[in-house]
Amino acid sequence: MFGFLNVYKPAGMTSHDVVAVLRHITGIKQIGHTGTLDPFAEGVLPVCIGKATRLIEYLNDDKAYIGTVQLGSSTTTFDIEGEIVNSSDKKVDLEVIEKNLELFRGNIEQLPPIYSAIKVKGKKLYEYAREGKEVEIKPRKVNISRLEIKNFDKEKQQLSLIIECSKGTYIRSIANDLGERLETYGHLIKLVRIKAGDFNVEDSVQLKSLDSKEKVEENLIYPSKKLNLPTYELTDEEKIKVSNGMALTITNPQGEFSPIKLMYKGELAAIGKNVQNQLKCEKVFI
């Protein structure tokens, strides 16, 4: 079995739980996902099966979410799973929110939550938090390419946002930081990932419907369909060379060191890179 699955992860499960379920159903150990979702979150979780796990690094990794923020209170984890640590009775209106959202668009520096899996000195941040130890957290550069209001309930002070962003962006941090900018507080109460790279929520499959090996196979996506890479068609002679791990001399090279998708009769044969007009294979699948 070789390919990708566009799985809709339900709330209440970890990303690793999804992988464990699929391993049990298929009997295949070589399964991995391309981007962790918090347990309370739901939505698109691309899963790689078999040798497709070797292609994770070539997949587009931008993300898109719909996040719902509860204004007026903040929590230890910046989301609904944490304990409330601050609260405010202040009511914010839509115009003020819109004005402050501009500060979060484009290239920004973001401070990750203390309850996150980022490692500092070889230890995960949430481990420091659980031990009650202080640790210096450095801001990280992220890109927010789209940040729009989807809905706002002024009475409940609940704000739904559409967010398109780069890999590594914490939506929980946006909720917390926006609350502070509005001179109140905020935390994330719902998160749905609607896009992960080229995997969209409209095409996703509910995990509960993948209840057999046959169902998994039916929903497999052939890897080349999700690899947005330049394509090089192999001749019969070149296919033999590639299968033996040999480099190819090419006359119309792509960009230096850029990954290239090598295809043979409709099948993905390998991923290669142009190095000084030599097409060298990095991952071979035939």
Which positions are annotated as active-site residues? 38
Name the amino acid, one letter, at 193: R
Tokens 């500092």: give the residue: 120
- Hey, what are 59's tokens? 């997949």
User: CB–CB of 129/123 below 8 Å?
Assistant: no
Alpha-carbon distance values, 91 to 144, 183, 184 (Å): 26, 10, 8
Largest CA distance in the chain: 73
- Name residues whose C-beta falls within 8 Å of residue 160's C-beta, 6 or more positions apart in sequence: 66, 67, 68, 69, 149, 150, 151, 152
Alpha-carbon distance values, 137 to 56, 112, 118, 188, 236 (Å): 28, 7, 9, 20, 54
- Between CA 6 and CA 181 the distance in angstroms is 36
Count of alpha carbons within 13 Å of 276, Cβ hemisphere only? Answer: 0
Q: Phi and psi for 201 in degrees, rounded to 5?
A: -65, -30
How far is the first Cα of the chain from the last one, in angstroms, to the nearest whole number? 14
- Between CA 3 and CA 267 the distance in angstroms is 12
